[in-house]
Amino acid sequence: MDDEANQSATPARGRASTARLATALVLTAGILIAGAAMAAPTPGAAQTASPERPDDDALKQMVIGRMLDARAGFFADIDLDVIGGDALLTGRVATVPDKARATALVRSVPGVQTVTNEIQVGVLDDLKRITGDLLLERQIRKEMRGVFGARMPRLNWRATNGVVYVFGHAASEWEHNRALAIVKQTKGTARVVDHLRITVNGG
């Protein structure tokens, strides 16, 4: 879900991207086997589109299309979430210009309301850290399901080196605080960054 200047990426970056993709595919397959409901990309209420803005899934596909068209190898290490027209970018890139370019590309897509860029800059993650982050995200999902059941808030979360970014919309202050508490209490969470907005009637 995650790609002009570094089209010929270094071997190290290539290995990191390949490892991230391979690990994600393996873990995603496990989640699908465990149950299709657990594999939902954005838990919570169904998304609705306005005449002016496509729905979130369509927006996400439009952004991914822009990334592919840009042919920038670093997009392979970026995760994208879209909720209510708001976009969250996480993951890692090698340089500050790469991070800025990712923000500009997402903002260029019609219908995107806001862009929150939490991409980390530096050496790309190794396989162990990638696996740990993906397992942490999966455990958080399990804990969220246990508390909220079918009434999941419109939110998602991404982990990078144990830092968990919580993003989306909560219907009340209680829902907001409960979701953050679940993430904080999940083993493996080093720190929580709150991008969860309280919105009434779906915001």
Beta bridge partners of 194: 166
Name which of 104, 14, 21, 100 is nearest 66 in CA terms: 104
Cα–Cα distance for residue pair 84/48, rounded to 1 Å: 8
Which tens digits make up the pLDDT trace of 63-73?
999 888 887 67
5 domain residue, yes or no: no
182 domain residue, yes or no: yes
1 domain residue, yes or no: no
Residue identified by tokens 């890139």 is 93
Q: Is 82:56 a contact under the CB 8 Å cutoff? A: yes
Domain containing 195: what range? Answer: 11-202
3 domain residue, yes or no: no
Sequence-distant (6+) residues with CB within 8 A of 170 are 153, 154, 155, 176, 179, 196, 197, 198, 199
Mean pLDDT over 54-59 rounds to 91
Q: Is 144:106 a contact under the CB 8 Å cutoff? A: no
In our burial notation (b when 16+ CB lie closer than 10 A, e otherwise), range 50-79 reads eeebbbbeebbebbbeebeebebbbbbbbb
189 domain residue, yes or no: yes
Mean pLDDT over 72-85 rounds to 86
2 domain residue, yes or no: no
Residue identified by tokens 């589109």 is 49
Helix (H, G, I), strand (E, B) or coil at 119: coil
6 domain residue, yes or no: no
Which tens digits make up the pLDDT trace of 6-52?
443 333 334 444 445 444 444 444 433 333 333 334 443 334 445 56
Name which of 194, 190, 162, 191 is nearest 178 in CA terms: 194
Cα–Cα distance for residue pair 73/174, rounded to 1 Å: 41
Mean pLDDT over 131-136 rounds to 95
User: How many structural domains comprise the chain?
Assistant: 1
In terms of pTM, does the model score above 0.85?
no
Which tens digits make up the pLDDT trace of 84-94?
999 999 998 88
What are the angstrom distances between the C-alpha of 94 and each of 100, 121, 178, 183?
12, 5, 35, 28
